[in-house]
Amino acid sequence: MANVVENLGKLERRVTISLPKEAVQKEIDSRIKQLAKNVKMPGFRPGKVPLKMVAQQYAGQVEAEVLSDKVGREFFDISRAENLKVAGSPRFASKEGEQALADSYAFDATFEIYPEVKLGDIATAEISRTTTQIADAEIDRTLDILRKQRVHYHVRGEASEHGDGGADLSAKDGDRVTVDFVGKLDGTPFAGGTAEDFVFVLGEGRMLPEFEKAALGLKASETREFDLQFPEDYHGKEVAGKTAQFTITLKKIEWSHLPEIDAEFSKTLGIADGDLTKMRGEIKDNLEREAKRRTQALLKNQVMDALLKISELEVPKALVEQDQERLVEMARRDLEQRGVPNARQAPIPVEMFHDQAERRVKLGLVLAEVVQQNQLQAKPEQIRAEVDEFAKSYEDPKEVVRWYYSDKQRLAEMEAFVVENNVVEFVTTKAKVTDKLVPFEELASTAAAAQG
């Protein structure tokens, strides 16, 4: 008898699966006989337990296994015969009561199918492509950051190999200061308001503005009293929105010394001979690689948004639910890596990932259609070129290449990356693209915001 596939909605379908009880029982009997060859029970040697006793104990479990296997195989055969593209896993429900048949087991298989994806005219899509240029100013800014990462301090007023910090012995922005302080509310000390030998750098914004202002201009051993208004949203609820009275005593001032940009500094950046031209060249290469990565990420987001905007499709709920579960699992792993206690049992509501999962599923279906229609699959030489490019930023590129090609999963991830790049390149040749030149610093902040 032909299986009738019922249409329950835009994507939802249902088919009834019948399994002759005689065939099911025959399979159950066969499995119990196999099981009896090795089963152990008190008072019997292995394999010598009476078949009737084995059946009494295991018949229910074996019946469930046989039905599950046969229903699964039958559904697979039906979906193949009917050319059904099943999205996600089907839900099986036993037909009982009046719907049950005397000589057969009957089950309803409810499932969703993959949707038809209607791609709009890519030529109507509008995309803003961000570009940037790496000039001497960007290299100089990077060098300044690298110098600050290597800052060291000297006690102000004491002679050192880099001087004494000048005649003015008062604390200034950039100085590292060591202080004692006592804070009170209406004359009473409060939790967290007192500390000894507390160290911070003026001007970094680690302390509240009134606190830093009070420390500025003080000399070693000097004391200052001041009022401090805590913000309404301050993390310490006891003092949030209140005004405290502080006494601060400055114990030590250390001025900052940044290393000179010379051959020795160049060597610390991995330039063996200390050549400054080579150093600037490598910094420029690194910045250009970073700029390329960020501009590509921004462009990819623009392309994906454009494709979603011009596409029409229904999204299978089953695939969204599966992706929600994956996102919950990813969130748990992230909590584990952060050292959060009992991360595996953390109450993470799956609903919070619905919109993200729906977008991911929808985008995956749209991309698959674009790739198939336009033959944009990744070629082996493209994958290798991308791996080589990625490996350039590491000390041992050959080892990175070997690492990728030694694991199918890692290589599959790179293949997916290449496919997305192929889609981006294809779309940008068809869509209305406007180039926008921005400074590298703006690019960095824009890319960070897009990732957030």
Paired tokens of 312: 């029409």
12 pLDDT tier (thresholds 50, 70, 90): very high
Decide: helix, strand or coil at residue 440.
Answer: helix
Q: Are 253 and 171 in contact (CB under 8 A)?
A: yes
350 residue type, one letter:
V
Angle at alpha carbon of residue 179, lines to 203 and 184, rounded to 5°? 100
Spatial separation of the C-alpha atoms in residues 446 and 438, rounded to whole Å = 10
Q: What is the pLDDT of residue 196?
A: 95
Cα 85 from Cα 369, distance rounded (Å): 14
What is d(CA 185, CA 246) in angstroms, rounded to the nearest whole number? 9
Please report, for residues 32, 145, 181, 221, 254, the alpha-carbon distance to residue 177 in angstroms, rounded to integers and kept in the order given: 80, 21, 12, 12, 6
Q: Return the beta strands (E) in 319-447 as ranges.
A: 432-437
Cβ atoms of 162 and 154 within 8 Å: the answer is: yes
| Closest to 250 in 3D by CA, of 154, 171, 184 | 171
Query: In the chain, what percentage of residues exceed pLDDT 70?
Result: 96
Domain 275-451, CATH among 3.40.50.970, 1.10.3720.10, 1.10.3120.10, 3.30.499.10: 1.10.3120.10
pLDDT at 261 over 90: yes
Q: What does the pLDDT look like over 362-379, one tens digit per residue? A: 999 999 999 999 999 999
Q: What average pLDDT does the segment 42-56 reach? A: 80
**CATH assignment, 152-257:** 3.10.50.40
Q: How confident is the model at residue 59 (pLDDT cuts 50, 70, 90)?
A: confident
Where does residue 266 rank: exposed (0-12), middle (13-18), buried (19+ CB within 10 A)?
buried
CB 29 within 8 A of CB 54: no
Of 48-57, 204-213, 303-312, the poorest mean pLDDT is in 48-57
pLDDT of residue 452: 43
pLDDT at position 1 is 45
Count Cβ atoms below 10 Å from residue 290 Cβ, excluding itself: 18
Which residue's entry shows tokens 């009982």? 96
Dump pLDDT digits (tens) for 426-443.
Answer: 999 999 999 999 998 888
Average pLDDT over residues 244-251: 96
Please name which of 313, 303, 296, 294 lies closest in space to residue 431, comparing C-alpha atoms: 303
Q: Reduce the secondary structure of 258-301 to three states and give it as a string.
A: CCCCCHHHHHHCCCCCCCHHHHHHHHHHHHHHHHHHHHHHHHHH
Positive/negative CA dihedral, 223, 227, 233, 236:
positive
* Mean of the per-residue pLDDT values of the chain: 90
Q: Which two tokens stand for residue 349?
A: 């509501």
CA dist list (Å): 335 to 116, 324, 331, 350, 451: 38, 17, 6, 15, 19
Cα separation of 374 and 357, whole Å? Answer: 26
Query: What is d(CA 243, CA 229) in angstroms, rounded to the nearest whole number?
Result: 4
Reported pTM = 0.72
Residue 361, number of CB atoms within 10 A of its CB? 23
Write the CB contacts of 19 (distance below 8 Å, at least 6 apart in sequence): 67, 70, 71, 74, 104, 105, 106, 107
If you average pLDDT over residues 132-148, what whole number do you get? 93
Strand pairing report for 126-131 and 118-119: unpaired
| 218, amino acid identity | L
Taking the domains of the chain in order of start, what are their residue ranges?
5-114, 152-257, 275-451
Question: Residue 324 and residue 350: Cα distance in Å, rounded?
Answer: 6
Q: What is the pLDDT of residues 411-430, one digit of tens each?
A: 999 999 999 999 999 999 99
Chain segment 262-313, per-residue pLDDT in tens: 999 999 998 999 999 999 999 999 999 899 989 999 999 999 999 999 999 9
Weakest mean pLDDT among 121-130, 132-141, 188-197, 339-348? 339-348
Rounded Cα–Cα distance for residues 50 and 57 (Å): 11
Whether the per-residue pLDDT at 451 is higher than 80: the answer is: no
- What are the residues facing 12 on neighbouring strands? 112
CATH superfamily of 5-114: Trigger factor ribosome-binding domain (3.30.70.1050)
